[in-house]
Each structure stands twice: as structure tokens, then as C-alpha cells.
Amino acid sequence: MVILQSTFISALHVLLFLATNSSSVQQCYRCSEAHRPKSDFALFLSLPTDGMEPQFSCAILPVDCQSSARSCTFGKVQLDKRIPIIFSGCANQDVQNNSGTSCHKEQHQFLDSGRTLRTNYCLCSTPMCNGRAFQLHVQMADEAVCIGPAPTRDSYLRMDKILEAVKSTGAQAVHPGYGFLSENTEFARLLTEAGAVFIGPNSKAILAMGDKIQSKRIATEAKVNMIPGYDGEVKDAEECVRVANDIGYPVMMKASAGGGGKGLRIAWNDKEAREGFRLSKQEAASSFGDDRMLVEKYIDNPRHIEMQVFCDKHGNAVWLNERECSIQRRNQKVIEEAPSPFVTPEMREKMGQQACSLALNVGYDSAGTVEFLVDSKRNFYFLEMNTRLQVEHPITEAITGVDLVQQMIRIAYGHKLNFKQRDVPIRGWAIECRVYAEDPYKSFGLPSVGRLSRYSEPLRIPGSRCDSGIYEGSEISIYYDPLICKLVTHGKDREQAMNRMRDALDEYVIRGVTNNIPLLRDIMTEERYRSGNITTKYLFETYPEGFRGIRLSNSETLCLAAVASALFCHHYMRAIRFLNTGRELFSRSDVQGSQRFAVDVPHIDKPVSSHLSEVKHMSWESCEVIIDGTEYNIEGSLNFSKAVLNLKVNGEPFIFQIKSCNTSGKVTLLYKGCPYELKVLNAKAHNYMKHMPEPRQMDTSRVVLAPMPGMIKSVNVEVGQKVTEGQETCVIEAMKMQNSLLAPKSGTRTRRRFIRAKYDYYKRIGKMTVPVQKVYDIELIPVECSVAIIGGGLAGSACAYWIKQRIRDDDMKLIVIESDSQLANSTTLLAPGGLWQQFSVPEKVQMSLFTAEFLRNADEHLKILDNDLPPIKFTPMNALFLASNEEAAAKLSEECKSQTEQGAKVSMLSKEQLKSRFPFLNVDDVIAGRLGCENEGVFDNWQLLSAIREKNVTLGVHYIKAKVTGFEWDWSSESAPTFLPPEQQWRYKRLRRVVVEPQYTDVAPRPIYATIFINCAGAWSGEVAEMAGFGVGPEQLSVPFPIVPRKRYAFIFHCPDGPSLDMPYLFDSSGVWCRREGLGNLYMCGKNPSKDDGDDSVDHSNLDVDYSFFDTHIWPVLAKRVPAFEKLKVKNAWAYYADVNEYDGNAIIGPHPFYQNYFHMSGFNGLSLQHALPAARGIMEKILDGAYVSIDLRDFHLDRMLRGKRMICDS
């Protein structure tokens, strides 16, 4: 990195000369084409690669140049590489089906650091998400690289994607930003191995300080003051309780790899320790990928003070003074200042020396922050060391004059620190307020979402600085941190810095999202804060009942009423004179005269107060208003186009913001950051309002409401379970934080939605206007479509349903290609409609629970207008699995534990319990059994399919009666998987179209172009896959596709002495199953065949029943298990074909690893009836979100076969 020092002036002059004395047309160094100079040209210097001093090259580059050339020449100077800095920590939020952008605090880091780099002539690159090229940080960058979808686990936490971006851009260095991979030792190591400079400390220092357990030991060796605590990792909640009792409450539980308040809880008793440990461990795992926890003594009501340190690679270290960070909520900083009003010079010296001692002891070589807790007696204790640049670093820059980003880059390239400890000054005072998209009236700030309809930063305030990554029109979503801006003010002393911050907050305009400016503004004028008496409990002690707003004095109330009256009259005057739309509130002849009103002003701690106002002598620049007999002279422009009004009322300056003003008398003003909704009415209207009834409030006391949109991570109470007031019902995750939702009162839980499902705001978007059509209408074969689904059974129809539910766009054409002959032979129509949760694969348990919830609420999902839903007839019937040996019994017990963890209600029964509960069973050879207790039963699968298909038709899905005869594809090696050998990457394909042969028309076979293909052909999906080229020929990728049709039978028999209606869905260890079928002593039975029972030569269209199969394979087992079945008579039987995965018996769900636009969903082994709905939703989420949301189905991908990793087979 080139640092502009005096020794570099001559080279800088050369660059400036080239830029200012060049001809009217310049040659671009990337593409060697001529460009006319304009404002978006930039000068660049190359970074040093060898030695300590930089070697200069120069170029003039138009920002919009698209060339990918690696080398070009400007004049006589050769530029050998692109100039290099890429930012891995810059995220842009992504909201599905929205074209807007959003903010993220890592964007601020790019904009801040990017400005430094531009000043020092470096080319900046940034990663971005799919389709979001309009982020502010993306627009500022010279180059942007797409690294994946918005979810961080698929983009900004993907080291491989960042490394690919480094290679593709030719970057020489990477700045990691604040979060994500900024403290990831593996990322730093991989960059070093790839030959790129990691602008941060070395990986060993990151590893040592990033592990809070190890960092405490290192700090002890460095003789840094330590907090008493447990030395080591705490494994589980019970150990946490034991350690906490040894240390003594209160204790702090925090993630070893944590930071930013995540994975951190305080406990005052055993109950809080257990619950807090569980939540913190989950939060740590999701935020950092490391759930290790430590426990230490919690210092009650301390100050949080941190020391900024800098070390180079030559053993030099300095400290750049302290930052006061005590004002926090949920262990996250809200307001910071530098220096601290509590720290004395002697204390500052000791803290700085200990911070540098720790840094040198660990071999640190970049910017770092050592955090301390300080008690009331000025004793300080080591908390942790952050091995990155802090969010609040601008206040240190303000008081020291040191550009921290610039110094980080210098040190990363081997330069020595260019200043000593004695050179570090304290110049004035700086304060930083973190402006969040949060509701300060809810727990001091719960996240808010929305679009910024109006946005203006207070840049006119002297000494102010705004580090933001957004602009008007940006959108805040649930995906990332809700930080809007870091607002910094600098003054000669603390008093001036606070006053400037107060004025800046008054002039900061944010519309469209709730923000925390009211709280920040009130703190700036609060007596305790201004005196410097602050601790980490400041918010809770200053606002014991939570923040409720600002209490207005009587004079401020009257001033608000006067300004509102003036604005209302001005609004009417403008409407009458220019728009001719104002009602005749007053005639034209007396607009300049006086008008009388009644003004209602709201208060936070008392009823609305009413005041009589009289408006006189109104003009564009002044107005006289009499409120309750007191005259107020208002001076200043009442221009509605300006959001901020700088007025003088009786000579005293006031700052207001206009939020809204209408002709109905509603005027909403922002004063001191808080909104006030005033009503300005004439006397008659005001008198009428007194007699209007108050609007009834909705009673939500019986409903657990999430305070913010987010992702449900766990549901802790079951339907029908009794809960007590304050009991945890579920955990919701929003903006990287987990929050526990408590029951508002005691009662019984009555219903729920989807397990781990994201709130679906796409559902019920307006009333359905499309009339219901017949399902079997023959459609003309289209030429092209967006999505082609092969297979019209339950799996294919469910895929179509979820996609169209999500995208209500008529331009998105979706077709389902089905063959009647195949559908008639499939499990969808002929298999028993069973539903149970007793699987060894956890995802199958979750999928079955999902289906049970869907069936319970089928009306809500599938009902069309006022039409009745087809009777799906979901009948509860618990499944009973039996084990005949110790090994099988142990497996049942092990699986029972896993199923319970997934949310299933199952229980183990001993032989004695089986005899007592089910006396009709012969359990002499049975060791144990496992019984489902809830969410299991049978349903009418044909009626379910009919309901889904009819719903799909109203949503615009086209069903086509045709047979698939082939595919066509393009070769594409650009997106080949990285694990694919180079010699095979050229074989990577993309399907272009499917060739179909219509069944009931004379149309010749024809191709259908599609963007995405989904194979849901069930038992015939293997044949369809072969047509697409899977594993058929040496010239193509030989990907095994082991899904084959397997014939199965269902038998109905009558037994007059058989078990009663309480008979469970019986599963024997031999694979034979049996259940009661309604009344009349009828029973249904069958057998799940093993791999050896299959016959590849079978005619797949043959549905003949082999009755000898019943005599040899089923009846002997039934007669042994249920003695009453020795005398039975078969009444009916049929055959059907199941799609069996011969590789490991589990379904293939998700994208193909080589065919980039092909998705597969089959191989359910006959269980598609209960797994098709959630699997189809997973396909939809994988296509539209780029990741699974409801249930993680990654283990079902086809690439498990390529890697030789079999899934656990079910019993």
C-alpha cells in the first residue's frame, strides 16, 4: 500500500502531471481503448510486492471499463497487475422478490476504508450478492464480484468464494471488514498461501486471541488484570450450573469465538444459567460456527472501556488511547466516546501498557482492541481482544488524527509504525452514535424492517461524520445487522461534542423504518450522561420501565401546538391557492386574517392536552399564533419540500421535522427525535370528536406475537400442551440474534404453523380471481416456459404449488408434464396413505412433522374461494415398530432419542408394557417396541392430490398430458464444480429443452424450452434421468442414477375376531405392516421389500397381483404376530410401483451436482406420500432462496453417491 509521505512527493507529482496534462483522450490501462477524461476517472499506484518501499506504476482508469485484461500500458509506464484491494466483509442485503437494496454495517467498512484507499491510489473490489448491483458500496467500488446469494452462509462466509474472487480480480490484498471472516484464522492462512496479503494480524494471533479460553491464559502470562472465572471450556448446561455455583452468581456465559454481544448471556440463578447457556451455545454456533462456551464472574454494573493498540511486524507497539463503550443494550454498544470521562492519565497509562504487553506477548501485528471491564474504584480487568478494526474506530481517528485503515495497510505490507507513543495526542472529544433500524420503545431496540422512503444525513453540522452504506430507497431486511449509520461528532471538548451530536440527530432524516434516534437524542441531553456517570446498566437504570419517549415541558407543548397550527393553515392556504382542492374551512377573503382552532397534543405520561389556537398574519416566512392566550411569533420558511424546519419561536431556535400533514387536521412532527401526532380541528369538529367512541383494541393477550420478523429456530411447546405465564414457547432469530418468546399468560397451546419455517408473507396476497378449471383440460403444448416439472403426482404437483405460492407472477410460466399411465401405477394413487415420524434419518422426521401440520391446516392452504375442500380424511393412528432381538431393540431406543430431539412424540415400550397395552399381540419373541404418540395417522392421498392440483390450476399451473421422450442440452464448463477433475469440467452440461409426445392430441413430438427442470417422475424418474444423459455413455459424465421401479402389493382382508379400533399401525421387523381399515373388521397389509426382492425384468405397466406373495411372505408373519389373523380371508388386492433408491434407500432431493439447472425429487422408497410436501418446499427454497429454509435437505443431494457417503438407512 502506498502511503503518501514526504519521500513519495516526486512520484506523486509525476502522477498528478500525467493526469492534468494529458490530451483530451486517454488510453485505458485495462482495455487499451481510448476514453475521454471525465469525473469518474481515477489515478492508481501499484502496491509494493518486494522490499519495504513501494515501486510506482500509474494508470488512468474509467470506472465503467469492463475489460478483463491483466496488463496494459499508459504512456511509457507498464502496469503489470490490477491494483488490488478486495473487501471480503461488505455485504448487501437481499430480499426475495424486491428490487431495492439494504444496508449492512460491513458496507460502512468498505465505504470508510475505500475512501482511504482512493486517497492513496488503490483499486478497490468488493463482493456482492446475486442481482444486487446497486448497493452504495458496490457502486463506489472499481470492481464488483458476485459471490452468491444473500444468506451469509452461502456467500460472505464462503472462504472458497472469496478466494475465487481474489484470483479472478488479480487482487494483491484483502481487507476483511468488521465481521464475517475478519477474525477467522483459517481465512487468513488460506489468503497467505494464495499469495494475497491479509490486511489484519497474522493467523496465529487471530487464533490465540479469538479463542477466549486461550486468550485468558495468554493475558495471565502477560500480567494483565483478569476476571475470576473457570479455566477451560464448559461443555453443557449442567456443567455451567456447577461452575456458576463454584464461582458464585452472577456469572457471564459467553462464546469462546464470540463478539458483538452474540453468544453472551448473564445468569443470576440456576434456571437462567441453564436457559441462557442453551441459547448462547445455539447463537454461537449459528454466528461463528463454533459453539464452545466459557463462564466467568460477572462484574455487576461496570464500565466497558477499550484500548486501541497498533503493532507492526518489527516488534513496535503503541496504544491510541481509550474508548468509553459503556452504553449498551443486549451487550451491544449503542454510544461510544473517546476519551473516557472516567479514565485518569495514570490509569490510561497502565491500561495502555497492559494492552501493548498482551499484544506483544502474542506476536500481534495490526490494529487490535483490548477490552476491559472497570469497576467504580477504577480497577480494570481484561475482557477480550478483538483482532480486527472496530466499528467505533472513527472516534479514535478523530482525537488522534491517525487514519487506522491506512496504518493497517502499511503494516500489512511490512512497514514500520511511522509514529511513537509520545506522538499520539488527544485532540478534543469525539462521540459516536450507532443509528439502528430498531424500535427504541421495545427493549431499547428491536429490529425494524422496511424501505427508506426518505433519507438525508446531517452533514452541515460542524465536526460531523456519517459512515453509512445506504441511500434513499435502500431496504432493511432480516438478513443482516440493522445498523444504518455511524454518526460521529468531534468537538474541542465533551460539551461541544455532545451539543453537536444533539443537533446532528435533530437534523438526521430517516423515513420508512423505525429507528433509535429518539433514544439517542434523549441520552445526549440526559443529566446523568452529560455528567459522565455511566455504566453498562445506564439504560436500565435511567429508563427502568423502558424508553417511552421524551417528556415535554409546558412551554414545549405550547410551542408544538403553535407550529402545528401554523403548518396546518399554511397547508390549506397552499391547497386553495395552487391546487384548488382545499375544503372551505375558511374563505379566500380571510386567509390573511385570523382563524381559531383546537389543538390536541399527545403526552407519554398523561392524557392528550387540548389547547385553543388562533393563527394570525400568516406569510411564507412568518406567522403569529396565539395559544391559550400566549402569543408565539414563528420565523422561518414553512416549506413542505424540506423535511427539516429550522425555525425561531419567539426568538429561540427550534428544529422540527415534518413527517406528515393533511387536510384532515392530522399533523405529525418530529421534535427531539420523537414523533408527535397532533390534531388541528375547528371548534365544531373538535366538539364532535369528544363524543366519538374510542377505537377498540385487538386482544392479543392469548397470542404469542413475535416482536420482529425473523426465522423460527425452535418450538418448545406442543399443540395441546399447557403453558404457564413467562414460559418459553419458541426461539426466533433475526439479524443474527436469537430471542426467546415467552407466554404472555397461562393457557393451552392450540395451533402452530410450520416447524422451523420462515414467515411466508407471500401467502394470501389478495383474493383469487381466476375461476376454477377442470384439472384434466388438455393444454396446447407451449414452446417455452420458466419451469418444467416432469411428473404430475403428489411430488410434482407439490413442487408446482410451492413455487406458484411464492411467485405470484403471470409471466412466470410453469408446466407439469404427466403421463396418465404412469400416474395410474404410482404410489400417489395406489399406496396406503400412511404418515409417521419414526425414522432414523432426522430430516425424515422433520418432513413428516411438516406434512402433519400441513394436513391439519389444509383448508388454509388449499381452499379456493368459498369452495369446499375435497375430504382428505386425516385419521390419527399411531405406528408401532417391534424389535425381535437386542440389536434391533437398541437401535429402536437410539432412534427414539433422535426422533424426540426433532420434535416427534414417541415412546419406548417394554415387552410387559406391550402385553398390557396390546393384548391381541403375540410378543413372546419381541424385546421392545416403539410407539408414536402424536401426529401419526392415515389420509386419502388421492383427495390430497386433487386438492393440490385444483389449487395449482387457479394459480396458473399448466398440466400437459404428454410423455417425455428426450432432452437437449448445452455444454458449459464455466460453472463446473470445483471438486470435478479438470479433464471432466468440459463435460458440465446445462439442459435446454425437453422433448415430449402428447397423449391425446395429434400434435407431433416437440421440444419445450425451459429455464429450470425438475424431475418428479417417481418410479420412472430413473428412466427420465437417463434420457437427460445421466450415466449413459463414456463421452458423458457417468453419474450413477440408481432409482428403479419396485412392485409392491396392498392386500385387504377380513378377520371377524381381529383387533378392535385401537389397533396401531403395526410394523414388524421383517418388513410386514398391517393396520385396520375402517369398520367391519377389515384390515390392510403389505410388505416393504428389501433390495433382494426386486426384479429388474418386471414389466412396469403390469399391475397383476401375485397372491402367492401374500401366502409366502405376509400371512405367516401376521398369523404369528396376531394369532387372531390365522383365520382371515383376502377380500381385495392391488399392485403399484414405488421409486426405490438402490444406493441407500433414501430419496434424492435437490440439485444435480453437474447439471446446473436440473433438480431431482424421487427415490422415496414408497414414502413420497408423507415427504413430498416438505421436499417440494425445499426444492422451491433451493431454487428461489439459494438455500434451504424450512428443513435442511443437503444430505439428500445426489453428490453423496459421488463421494461414497451413504445415509443412515431406516429400520
| Cα(216)–Cα(297) distance, integer angstroms | 13
- The CATH number of the structural domain formed by 711-748 is 2.40.50.100
The per-residue DSSP string of 1168-1205 comes to HHHHHHHHHHHHHHHHHTSS-SSS--GGGSTHHHHTT-
Average pLDDT over residues 715-743: 79
Q: Give residue 140's pLDDT.
A: 62
What is the longest distance spanned by two Cα atoms in the chain?
A: 106
Strand stretches in 666-721, DSSP E: 666-671, 674-681, 711-715
Mean pLDDT of the chain: 77
Q: What angle do CA 667, 668, 670 make, to 5 degrees?
A: 140
- Where does residue 51 rank: exposed (0-12), middle (13-18), buried (19+ CB within 10 A)? exposed
**Better-predicted residue by pLDDT, 562 or 135:** 562
Cis preceding-peptide flag for 982 (omega within 30 of 0): no
Encode pLDDT of 833-888 as tens digits. Answer: 888 888 888 899 999 989 888 887 787 778 775 566 667 777 888 999 999 888 88
Q: What angle do CA 590, 595, 596 make, to 5 degrees?
A: 160
Residue 389: other Cβ atoms inside 10 A:
26
Average pLDDT over residues 233-257: 89
**Better-predicted residue by pLDDT, 1010 or 808:** 1010
Residue 495: other Cβ atoms inside 10 A:
11
Where does the pLDDT of residue 819 fall: very low under 50, low under 70, confident under 90, or very high at 90 and above? confident
Strand stretches in 187-316, DSSP E: 197-198, 251-259, 262-267, 293-297, 303-311
| Cα(918)–Cα(914) distance, integer angstroms | 6
Q: Give residue 139's pLDDT.
A: 58
**CATH value of 875-936+1048-1137 in 1.25.40.10, 3.20.20.70, 3.30.365.10, 3.30.9.10:** 3.30.9.10
Q: Give residue 585's pLDDT.
A: 44
| Cα(244)–Cα(266) distance, integer angstroms | 11
User: What is the second-level CATH architecture of the domain 554-687?
Assistant: 2-Layer Sandwich (3.30)
Q: Give residue 112's pLDDT.
A: 54
Q: Are the C-beta atoms of 85 and 175 separated by less than 8 Å?
A: yes
φ and ψ at residue 674, rounded to 5 degrees: -95, 140
Reference 453, options 511, 507, 517; nearest CA is 511
Q: How many CA atoms lie within 13 A of 584 on its CB side?
A: 3
CA–chain centroid gap for 298, Å, is: 31
Please identify which residue in the block is written with the cell numbers 456443567. Answer: 239
Encode pLDDT of 866-881 as tens digits. Answer: 566 667 777 888 999 9
- Where does residue 52 rank: exposed (0-12), middle (13-18), buried (19+ CB within 10 A)? exposed
**Better-predicted residue by pLDDT, 896 or 262:** 896
Encode pLDDT of 665-678 as tens digits. Answer: 888 899 999 999 88
Question: Could you say which of 388, 806, 1048, 1075 is catalytic?
Answer: 388
Question: Which whole-number Å values give the CA distances from 839 to 288, 380, 706, 887, 947, in the listed order?
Answer: 31, 54, 32, 17, 28
Please identify which residue in the block is written with the cell numbers 371377524. Answer: 1056
Where does the pLDDT of residue 85 fall: very low under 50, low under 70, confident under 90, or very high at 90 and above? low
C-beta contacts of 805-810 below 8 A and 24+ residues apart: 805/760, 805/762, 805/763, 805/955, 806/96, 806/97, 806/760, 806/762, 806/1180, 806/1184, 807/97, 807/762, 807/1184, 808/762, 808/765, 808/955, 810/956
The per-residue DSSP string of 1098-1128 comes to S-TT-----HHHIIIIIHHHHHHHSGGGGS-
Which fold would CATH assign to domain 770-874+937-976+986-1042+1143-1211? FAD/NAD(P)-binding domain (3.50.50)
What are 651's three cell numbers?
426568538
- The CATH number of the structural domain formed by 85-95+105-199 is 3.40.50.20
Question: Which whole-number Å values give the CA distances from 688 to 632, 695, 899, 1046, in the listed order?
Answer: 28, 15, 63, 78
| Cα(1139)–Cα(821) distance, integer angstroms | 15
Q: What is the domain partition of the chain in residue ranges?
A: 6-76, 85-95+105-199, 300-542, 554-687, 711-748, 770-874+937-976+986-1042+1143-1211, 875-936+1048-1137
Question: For every residue of 338-390, which 3-state class applies, written as one string?
Answer: ECCCCCCHHHHHHHHHHHHHHHHHCCCCCEEEEEEEECCCCCEEEEEEECCCC
Q: Are strands 622-627 and 609-616 parallel, antiparallel or unpaired?
A: antiparallel
Q: Are the C-beta atoms of 684 and 691 separated by less than 8 Å?
A: no
Torsion of CA 152, 157, 160, 163, to 10 degrees: 110
Of 15-29, 184-198, 709-723, 1129-1143, the range with the lowest mean pLDDT is 15-29
Q: Are the C-beta atoms of 730 and 704 separated by less than 8 Å?
A: yes
| Cα(806)–Cα(935) distance, integer angstroms | 27
Encode pLDDT of 6-26 as tens digits. Answer: 222 222 222 222 222 333 333
| Cα(905)–Cα(915) distance, integer angstroms | 21
Superfamily of domain 300-542: ATP-grasp fold, B domain (3.30.470.20)
| Cα(422)–Cα(337) distance, integer angstroms | 22
What are 183's three cell numbers?
477474525
Where does the pLDDT of residue 43 fall: very low under 50, low under 70, confident under 90, or very high at 90 and above? very low
Of 470-479, 511-520, 1103-1112, the range with the lowest mean pLDDT is 470-479
Most confidently modeled range among 452-456, 520-524, 967-971, 1144-1148 = 520-524
Alpha helices in 679-837 (DSSP H): 683-689, 794-806, 820-824, 827-830
- Where does residue 544 rank: exposed (0-12), middle (13-18), buried (19+ CB within 10 A)? exposed
pLDDT at 299 over 90: no
Q: Are strands 429-436 and 438-439 parallel, antiparallel or unpaired?
A: unpaired
352 dihedral zone (left: phi>0; alpha: psi -120 to 50; beta):
alpha
φ and ψ at residue 767, rounded to 5 degrees: -80, 150
Torsion of CA 81, 84, 88, 94, to 10 degrees: -80
CA–chain centroid gap for 417, Å, is: 40
What are 1008's three cell numbers?
419445450
Q: Are the C-beta atoms of 1143 and 1031 separated by less than 8 Å?
A: no
Model pTM score: 0.53
Q: Are the C-beta atoms of 808 and 1182 separated by less than 8 Å?
A: no
Reference 85, options 206, 184, 191; nearest CA is 191
Query: CB within 8 A of 276, min separation 6: which ones?
Result: 253, 265, 266, 267
pLDDT at 80 over 50: no
Fold identical between 554-687 and 875-936+1048-1137?
no
Residue 303: other Cβ atoms inside 10 A:
22
What are 118's three cell numbers?
482512493
Average pLDDT over residues 705-725: 78
pLDDT at 798 over 90: yes
Average pLDDT over residues 1001-1029: 85
Coil, strand or helix at 275: helix
Q: Give residue 1078's pLDDT.
A: 75
pLDDT at 432 over 90: yes
| Per-position b or e across 593-624, b if 16+ CB within 10 A of its CB | eebebbbbbbeeeeeebbbbbbbeebeeebbb
388 catalytically annotated: yes
Encode pLDDT of 497-519 as tens digits. Answer: 999 999 999 999 998 899 999 99
Output Rg (C-alpha) for the chain, integer angstroms: 35
Query: CB within 8 A of 538, min separation 6: which ones?
Result: 326, 327, 528, 529
Encode pLDDT of 155-210 as tens digits. Answer: 778 888 888 888 888 888 888 887 788 888 888 888 888 888 899 999 899 988 88
